[in-house]
Amino acid sequence: MRIKVLGCSGGIGGILRTTGFLVDEDILLDAGTGVGDLSIEQLCQIDHVFLTHSHLDHIVSLPLLLDTVFGMRQKPITLYALRETWDILKTHVFNWKIWPDFSMIPDETNALLRYHEVRVGVTVRLGNRKFTPVPANHVVPAVGYHLEGESASMVFTGDTTTCDALWEAVNRIENLKYLIIETAFSNGERQIAELSKHLCPSMLVEELGKLEKSGFRIYITHLKPGEGEVIMHEIERDAYAFHARPLYHGHIFEI
């Protein structure tokens, strides 16, 4: 399984892109602004989209993707998400007021967008690729994902604050190679991090202390624009034992 980072920032500006990953050639994990860098030919190859939650920075390119490829595909795109996430999208995005409802176009039987409900701990298998939702704790219903290829695993936490259940799931993974975890705010903004259910470096240290395993690489995502250097300095100072490093646009992982 090949995973390319299309975006990993908490915002936009210049080269910054919000959260999204291209898995092989046919799967998106979240659909932030970086999806817009794909060519039309690449967009037409997307058959599956996994969402962590409904916030705009993670779903903004999905409506535009559907509109772009409509009429160019012979089969639907399957959206994998929590039931609550799907309900939010149907109510607030695919409602004919913000965007057409592609789960009804051209008709309900032959719609471009097909929904598949995901549940924590229940694995979705696409050939030899496995996607298992893991717990997350955010201001809207959310999950992370455990991605398992032929030789190794990756965990992407999505947006989350402190979450004991997440670490219980991570600690059960035998072949973990990469952990991608958010840290959206600096320590000086811990109150905002707690209010918005994100992490700051001091909270990250507390969470990583729940790990019962080692030998894998840790990458930091969702850094707030303009504060990346400050956040990473605090992480490198306080969480040096974990050797966490920033995630970058264009980074490629193999599992």
CATH no. for residue 41?
3.60.15.10
C-alpha dihedral sign at 242, 188, 192, 92: negative
pTM of the predicted protein model: 0.97
The mean predicted confidence, pLDDT, of the chain is 97
Whether residue 120 is predicted with pLDDT greater than 90 in this model: the reply is yes
- Bridge partners (DSSP) listed for residue 218: 179
| pLDDT, mean of residues 55-64 | 98
Residues counted in the chain:
255
| Residue 179, CA distances (Å) to 48, 124, 188, 199, 234 in order | 22, 19, 25, 15, 19
Q: 209-223 pLDDT, tens per residue?
A: 999 989 999 999 999
Q: Which residue range forms the structural domain that includes residue 238?
A: 2-254
Q: What is the pLDDT of residue 61?
A: 98
Whether residue 107 is predicted with pLDDT greater than 90 in this model: the reply is yes
Q: What is the pLDDT of residue 131?
A: 98
> Considering the chain, what percentage of its residues have pLDDT values greater than 70?
100
Q: What is the pLDDT of residue 6?
A: 98
Q: 165-193 pLDDT, tens per residue?
A: 999 999 999 999 999 999 999 999 999 99
Q: What is the pLDDT of residue 213?
A: 87
Q: Mark 165-175 as b/e (b = at least 16 C-beta within 10 Å).
A: ebbebbeebee
Q: What is the number of structural domains in the chain?
A: 1
Q: 125-163 pLDDT, tens per residue?
A: 999 999 999 999 999 999 999 999 999 999 999 999 999
Q: Is residue 251 very low, low, confident or very high in pLDDT (cuts 50, 70, 90)?
A: very high
- Pairing of the two strands 153-156 and 143-148: antiparallel
Q: 15-24 pLDDT, tens per residue?
A: 999 999 999 9
Q: What is the pLDDT of residue 238?
A: 87
The neighbour count for residue 149, using CB atoms within 10 Å, is 20
